[in-house]
Amino acid sequence: MTTFALVGAGPGLGLAAARRFGKAGHSVALLSRSAQHQDHLVADLAREDIHACGFTADVLDPASLTAALREAADTLGPVEILQFSPVPRGDFMKPVLDTTAADLDDPLGFSVKGPLTCVNTVLPGMRELGRGTLLFVNGGSAVRPHPDRAGTSIAFAAESAYAAMLHTALAPENIHAAQLIVPGAISPDSATSSPTALAERLYGLHTDRKGFRHYAEPMPDLLDGPP
């Protein structure tokens, strides 16, 4: 059995994605800062006969991410699917003219060093399996920068560039990197951006393995990433 590792486990999209991949037969590794939140999610998934375990890690602490992902693989089985979708902190979203160089340290650590650490940790296991999927979930500012959200706009753009390069570099190894852009709020009432709908879309990106950038909802006048 292989593992679906979720970085940024929470009760919305995180739980829905864990449920979808768990029902497909994968063990589920839930990574977040709060062990208490992990326990609630594990209990919810257990009621649906999904095997899940929580692992405590902070996206801004590369050592904790590496340790958690290695423990997850040792405990549950090799990581075949990695989903990177933690929610950025509110203080990442200062207006551009109020943003200093120091203000970018945490956003870049969160959205660039965090995913890079995760990918470098799980990649050897995916190569041993001969397959893998790397899923990146971002808001609309990843492709349409917002002057009132400078930190996330800059950091998401850098994360997008990194993920796009992975898409090209790893394709010959049967490791698929894909990005899902969610332009608006995640709402349980939305036909396209509810947690359940997004989880199904992410599972489709894993199974279909076509293209790099995908949108939960249309964003007109934007060019896609690599084909």
The pLDDT tens digits for 101-150 are: 999 999 999 999 999 999 999 999 999 999 999 999 999 999 999 999 99
Please say if the pLDDT value at position 220 is more than 70. Answer: no
Whole-angstrom Cα distance, residue 209 to residue 194?
22
Residue 202 resides in a domain: yes
Report yes or no on 190 lying in a domain: yes
CATH number reported for the structural domain that contains residue 20 in this entry: 3.40.50.720
Residue 209 is encoded by which pair of tokens? 């393995």
Tell me if 13 sits within 8 A of 194, measured CB to CB. Answer: no
**Domain-located, residue 2:** no
27 strand-pairing partners:
3
Q: How would residue 91 be classed by pLDDT, with cut points 50, 70 and 90?
A: confident
Query: Could you give the angle at the alpha carbon of 34 between the alpha carbons of 78 and 80, nearest 5°?
Result: 15
pLDDT computed for residue 185 by the predictor: 81
- Say which residue the tokens 């902070």 belong to: 58
Q: How far apart are CA 137 and CA 197, in angstroms?
A: 14
Q: What pLDDT does 34 receive?
A: 87
pTM of the model: 0.94
DSSP string, 34-95: -HHHHHHHHHHHHTTT--EEEEE--TT-HHHHHHHHHHHHHHH--EEEEEE-PPPPGGG---
Residue at 61 is within a domain: yes
CA distance 157 to 138: 9
pLDDT classification of 224: cutoffs 50, 70, 90: very low
User: Does residue 144 lie in a domain region?
Assistant: yes
Does 74 map to a domain? Answer: yes
Q: Select from 117, 110, 80, 78 the least CA-distant residue to 93.
A: 110
Give me the chain's average pLDDT, please: 94
Q: How many CA atoms lie within 13 A of 139 on its CB side?
A: 18
**What's the number of domains the chain is made of?**
1
107, part of any domain: yes
Q: Which domain holds residue 197?
A: 8-215
In percent, how much of the chain has pLDDT > 70? 96
- Looking at residue 221, what is its pLDDT? 54
Token couple for 44: 């919810």
Residue 70, pLDDT score = 98
CA distances from 152 to 12, 88, 93 (A): 20, 8, 6
